[in-house]
Amino acid sequence: MSGNRAVAYIEPGVVEVQTIDYPDLVLHDGPGVHPQNAGRQCRHGVILKVLATNICGSDQHMVRGRTTAPQDLVLGHEITGEVVEKGPDVEFTEVGDVVSVPFNIACGRCRNCKERKTGICLNVNPVRPGSAYGYVDMGGWVGGQAEYVMVPYADWNLLRFTDRDRAREKLLDLTMLSDIFPTGFHGAVSAGAGVGSTVYVAGAGPVGLAAAASAQLLGAAVVIVGDLNPERLAQARSFGCETIDLTQDPPQAQIEALLGEPEVDAAVDAVGFEARAHGPDAGEAPATVLNTLMEVARAGAGIGIPGLYVTEDPGGVDNDARTGALKMRFGLGWAKSHYFITGQCPVMRYHRELSQAIMHDRVQIAKAVNATVISLEDAPRGYAEFDQGASRKYVLNPHGALDGVTAI
């Protein structure tokens, strides 16, 4: 095959669907590929026909011009697909398998992988530990918002669904396993959400909604979601969350009105570095969420931080923000003996168990995040609407596997 339609970043605010090369089992030089990765042989890899691939808030950071992403970088790290070709070193994955791809690319051989820290694999990215498909400074692995994509270290990375027919029936939920659902779950687990706990989730975007649904799955008594966007708050209420409107009274006062006390047992930052200050017409203030969580989390509580923070932000509000140096009230967190867990979610730590919860109808994650199917060619519209605050998780449908499917 000679062609492959894919979504590429062009410039701030602009993506387009291009025809790129059909993948093979080599990481070729191209936009964003680190020179030490160019030409890397992947006999251990497979080629996937992409059945579903999602637009992520992390992609949106790049598309807004808030990173150093190069022109023509093919986007997309949330991938579910069918194996159409396998490399000669692939032993246990077969052509025809339906699989979920963790957004973390991991070798399975290094110290961190063996310690289940697959978000910071030491062998796939010459720049720093950790890698992902279609993302700036992550080694240059080609993204999966495409018709076809190559996945390295397939036997290690792929989650294979043994019941292919059932997997296709549940595809809209299962596509959330590549990132958003495990990432939200990781945030809730990291924060200490559990049976009978009270949980505050900052941010009602897709990751925040996934974190809220995860806290419910873990047995939380009350899950409170805070945001500035009324449509997103309504989506959180649609599956049983309490909400607070951050354009109104201070978060502690609103939490106290709901719980009878101003603090919660666990707190999750699902916003990241593009946070805005609270109040009507508030401007950007990147440490707002972290400082608020230290205020509303009880002494000894955990703060899970699945929201993305970067080391370089060309659009930062000041010189400190441009290098990821935030004005945090860390002394408050220290005084309250908080613990913080940050970084990429190690998807493989959670995805098998979460797939079982989906398959056995213990959670309706696509409904919780308002999964909305659009065509690959419609990706520019999806990015534009998401950037305007639409309360939807856009799922691209390159081969029609999700035709007629809606979240239920």
pLDDT of residue 282: 81
pLDDT-derived band at 2 (thresholds 50, 70, 90) equals low
Residue 17 has pLDDT above 60, yes or no: yes
174 and 184, same domain (yes or no)? no
Q: Domain ends where: 341, 361, 381?
A: 341
pLDDT of residue 367: 98
- Of residues 246 and 281, the one with the higher pLDDT is 246
Average pLDDT (255-279) is: 95
390 occurs within a structural domain: yes
pLDDT of residue 280: 82
Structure tokens at 313: 């932000």
- Say if residue 111 is in the same domain as residue 91: yes
CATH number, domain at 85? 3.90.180.10
Are 289 and 157 found together in one domain?
no
Question: Do 221 and 81 sit in the same domain of this protein?
Answer: no
Helices of type H across 192-327: 206-217, 230-237, 251-259, 288-296, 319-322
For 67-90, what is the mean pLDDT?
97
The arithmetic mean of pLDDT across residues 204-217, rounded, is 98
Q: Of the given ranges (21-30, 293-302, 315-324), which has the lowest mean pLDDT?
A: 315-324
Q: What is the mean pLDDT of residues 367-396?
A: 97
Is residue 139 domain-shared with residue 228, that is, in the same domain?
no
Q: Band the pLDDT of 279: cuts 50, 70, 90.
A: confident
pLDDT band at 1 (very low <50, low <70, confident <90, very high): low
Domain membership of residue 147 (yes or no) is yes
Domain count, the chain: 2
The domain containing residue 107 runs over which residues? 3-179+347-396
Please state at what angle helix 230-237 crosses helix 206-217, rounded to 10 degrees: 20
Q: Are residues 184 and 171 in the same domain?
A: no
CB-CB neighbours of 22 under 10 Å: 14
Mean pLDDT of 148-158: 98
Beta bridge partners, 234, equal: none
- Global pTM? 0.96
Residue 404 located in a structural domain: no
Same domain, 200 and 161: no
pLDDT at 313 over 90: no
50 falls in which pLDDT band (50, 70, 90)? very high
341, 356, 381: which is the final residue of a domain? Answer: 341
As a whole number, the mean pLDDT across the chain is 96
User: Would 79 be classed as within a structural domain?
Assistant: yes
Measured between alpha carbons, how far is residue 283 from residues 262, 274, 286, 317 in Å? 25, 10, 10, 9
* DSSP label of 401: T
Burial of 308 (0-12, 13-18, 19+ CB in 10 A): buried
Tell me the average pLDDT across 189-198: 98
Structural tokens at position 225: 């979601």
CATH number, residue 307: 3.40.50.720
DSSP state of 202: E
Q: Do 363 and 21 contact (CB within 8 A), yes or no?
A: no
Which of 326, 331, 233 lies closest to 288, judged by CA?
326
The verdict on 328 and 228 lying in the same domain is yes
Is 406 within a domain?
no
Place of tokens 């703060």: 303
Task: Give the model's pLDDT for residue 172.
Answer: 98
So what's the pLDDT on residue 312? 86
Give the 3-state secondary structure of 150-163.
EECCHHHHCEECCC
Nearest to 368 by CA among 188, 228, 173: 173
Q: Are 233 and 227 in contact (CB under 8 A)?
A: yes
Domain boundary at 321, 341, 361, which? 341
Question: Can you give the pLDDT at residue 210?
Answer: 98
Q: CB neighbours (10 Å) of residue 169?
A: 13
DSSP state of 69: P
pLDDT tens for 134-151 read 999 999 999 999 999 999
Does 112 score more than 90 pLDDT? yes
Same domain, 353 and 370: yes
pLDDT tens-digit profile of 121-136?
999 999 999 999 999 9
Which pLDDT band holds residue 281 (cuts at 50, 70, 90)?
confident
pLDDT at 229: 96
Q: What are phi and psi of 51, to 5 degrees?
A: -90, -30
Is residue 13 located within the same domain as residue 72? yes
164 lies in the same domain as 203: no
The arithmetic mean of pLDDT across residues 286-297, rounded, is 96
